[in-house]
């Protein structure tokens, strides 16, 4: 049996809760998990399956909706050689490239590396496409030769070609922004948990992954803007900066500034309400964010929400970081 559901909570329900597959499956059954999960959870499912007398493979897939429809998915498998051999006919029917990566959890690990690269390449592609649009490649017809050139250049990637194609089609639509924000077959929300798993593995290994952190921030900003159902191509809209505020014109000798009638206290500024979520906070702050700030914000997010202010980081000239209450942008 092949299982593919969204998220570890759903997987835990399907496999481990009362009435789940490990309780009802006949001894000797072979279960295949095609979802994207953490390495730790994949190993937990392997151990629970062994205890229940059931064989198990972690076998996440890559290739998107197109690969699933065409049977060309890449399938990366973790588990025993014997179980992999037994499952091979079913896996070959699903994908065009099937490979055993190693012991339990190895398939999940390979998928997280794939997701790191997919999201990082997608974010870079949206930056390149936003700049290309600003420099005159602002229609599908004008973008097509650029994508063809890049397809033969070192800057190319699968995500660039896919994202560029979606952006080109949107630019030719009657409402380009609406086309970019339309519900997608592979929405941004799918990457939220995957990148969280990647960053958790990196933290365990004491690695800093700034490109991955930036991609995760882009997904969070999309959620804060209500765009989590759109494709990665929509992130190109996030790179636009707001128009600059015109500078105040100083008074001239011919038109001196009027003297105030009386010295008055500065107007009181009402404190802003705290944000309801970290995603809403992130969506309000223009990039770039430093990775250290985001990591600390995530850690103190539990202090925020409706029950109190979130926190933000201040840096003094010595580089020391402190935390202060967050009451909104000044």
> 34-61, pLDDT tens digit by residue?
999 999 999 999 999 999 999 999 999 9
Report pLDDT for 330.
29
Write out the residue limits of the CATH 3.40.50.720 domain(s) in the chain. Answer: 2-104
CB-CB contact of 32 with 10 (8 Å) = no
How far apart (Å, rounded) are the C-alpha atoms in residues 221 and 206? 25
**Bigger pLDDT: 301 or 140?**
140
Bridge partners of residue 52, in order along the sequence:
none
Rounded to an integer, the average pLDDT of 73-97 is 96
Examine the residue annotation and report whether 111 is marked as an active-site residue of this protein.
yes
Report pLDDT for 276.
55
Place of tokens 């960053």: 199
The CATH number of 112-238, from 3.40.50.1820, 1.10.1040.10, 1.10.580.10, 1.10.3720.10, is: 1.10.1040.10
Q: What is the pTM of this model?
A: 0.74
Residue tagged active-site, from 43, 46, 100, 111: 111
Residue 222 has pLDDT above 60, yes or no: yes
Write out the residue limits of the CATH 1.10.1040.10 domain(s) in the chain. Answer: 112-238
How far apart (Å, rounded) are the C-alpha atoms in residues 277 and 282? 9
Q: Which CATH class is domain 2-104?
A: alpha beta
Rounded to an integer, the average pLDDT of 212-241 is 94
CB-CB contact of 189 with 228 (8 Å) = yes
């Amino acid at each position: 049996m092949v299982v593919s559901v969204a998220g570890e909570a759903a997987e835990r329900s399907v496999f481990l809760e009362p009435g789940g597959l490990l309780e009802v499956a006949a001894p000797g059954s072979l279960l295949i998990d095609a979802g994207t999960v953490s390495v730790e959870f994949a190993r937990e499912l392997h151990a629970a399956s062994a205890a229940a007398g059931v064989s198990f493979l972690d076998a996440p897939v890559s290739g998107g909706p197109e690969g699933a429809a065409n049977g060309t998915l890449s399938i990366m498998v973790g588990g025993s050689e014997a179980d992999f051999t037994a499952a091979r006919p079913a896996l070959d029917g699903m994908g065009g490239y099937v490979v055993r990566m190693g012991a339990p959890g190895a398939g999940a690990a390979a998928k997280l590396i794939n997701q790191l690269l997919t999201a990082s390449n997608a974010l870079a592609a949206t930056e390149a496409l936003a700049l290309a649009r600003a420099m005159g490649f602002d229609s599908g017809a004008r973008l097509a030769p650029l994508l063809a050139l890049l397809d033969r250049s070192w800057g190319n990637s699968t995500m660039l070609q896919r994202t560029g194609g979606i952006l080109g089609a949107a630019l030719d639509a009657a409402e380009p922004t609406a086309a970019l924000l339309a519900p997608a077959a592979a929405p941004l929300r799918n990457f939220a948990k995957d990148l969280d798993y990647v960053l958790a593995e990196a933290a365990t290994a004491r690695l800093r992954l700034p490109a991955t952190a930036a991609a995760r921030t882009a997904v969070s900003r999309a959620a804060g803007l209500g765009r989590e159902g759109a494709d990665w191509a929509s992130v190109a809209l996030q790179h636009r900066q707001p128009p600059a505020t015109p500078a105040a014109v100083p008074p001239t000798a011919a038109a001196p500034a009027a003297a105030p009638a009386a010295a008055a206290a500065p107007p009181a500024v009402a404190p802003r309400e705290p944000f309801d979520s970290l995603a809403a906070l992130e969506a309000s702050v223009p990039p770039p964010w430093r990775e250290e700030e985001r990591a600390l914000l995530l850690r103190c997010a539990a202090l925020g929400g409706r029950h109190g202010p979130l926190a933000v980081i201040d840096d003094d000239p010595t580089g020391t970081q402190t935390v202060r209450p967050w009451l909104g942008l000044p």
